[in-house]
Amino acid sequence: MAKLYFYYASMNAGKSTNLLQADFNYRERGMATMLFTAAIDDRFEAGTIASRIGLAAPATPFGPATDLYGCIDDRHAETPLSCVLVDEAQFLSGGQVDQLARVCDRLGVPVLAYGLRTDFQGVLFEGSARLLALADELTEIKSVCVCGRKATMNLRVDADGAPVARGSQTEIGGNDRYTALCRRHHAEALIQAEG
């Protein structure tokens, strides 16, 4: 039985690097894969999964209206897929996560989804919440806080590096906009931001 996997972590933990390594491993063995990334993520070239260490691969961009099951079913009919890999999975809708579960259950293709668990305020993203509910296997990719403890939270910062406590859930950015912290230091930074 094919499984739905959710690999989650804070910012800068190497999620995209792990995804690209998994994709390489499949392709090195002559197995076909299909990659997806969020269309909203405009930090790199559109339709590209890129890691901070310089690895990159083309991917199909998804948005709120993308029928993932239909896209995967069509590709699978042309070329049997051994795996589907999804970057920025926090931006999936709950319905799209349900579609990915159907890919596993009906098409027999495993799906590896990589993303953030929570936003900068510690609130679950819709896609992540649904993945936490439906995934057959959950794996946390570890990152480190400035204090040396495990970083589990994402702190949004402004252009001057000061913590931000309010704003829309989604604001695309990398090291210039976010820093990974442990729960304690994240909470302290939010209190500081509230002033």
The answer to whether 142 is annotated as binding is no
pLDDT digits (tens, 9 = 90+) for 70-85: 999 999 999 999 999 9
The answer to whether 178 is annotated as binding is yes
Q: How far is CA 80 from CA 16, 34, 84, in A?
A: 24, 10, 11
Residue 64, pLDDT above cutoff 90: yes
The SS3 of residue 78 is helix
The answer to whether 180 is annotated as binding is no
The answer to whether 15 is annotated as binding is yes
* DSSP for residue 154: E
Q: How far apart are the first and last CA of the chain?
A: 52
The per-residue pLDDT for 176 is 67
Q: Other C-beta atoms within 10 Å of 1: how many?
A: 7
Average pLDDT over residues 171-185: 78
The per-residue pLDDT for 44 is 63
Instruction: Enter the pTM of the model.
Output: 0.91
**Angle, CA 134 vertex, CA 30 and CA 187 arms, to 5°:** 110
pLDDT digits (tens, 9 = 90+) for 26-54: 999 999 999 999 987 666 677 788 887 88
The answer to whether 7 is annotated as binding is no
Residues with a catalytic annotation lie at 88
Q: Which fold has domain 4-141?
A: Rossmann fold (3.40.50)
Domain boundaries, the chain: 4-141
* 107-137 core/surface letters (b: 16 or more CB in 10 A; e: else): bebbbbbbbbbbbbbeeebbbbbbbeebbee
Question: What is 87-140 written as a DSSP string?
Answer: SSGGGS-HHHHHHHHHIIIII---EEEEEESB-TTSPBPHHHHHHHHH-SEEEE
Distance CA 117, CA 186 (A): 15
> Over the chain, what is the mean pLDDT?
90
Would you mind telling me the total number of residues written for the chain in this entry? Answer: 195
The answer to whether 56 is annotated as binding is no
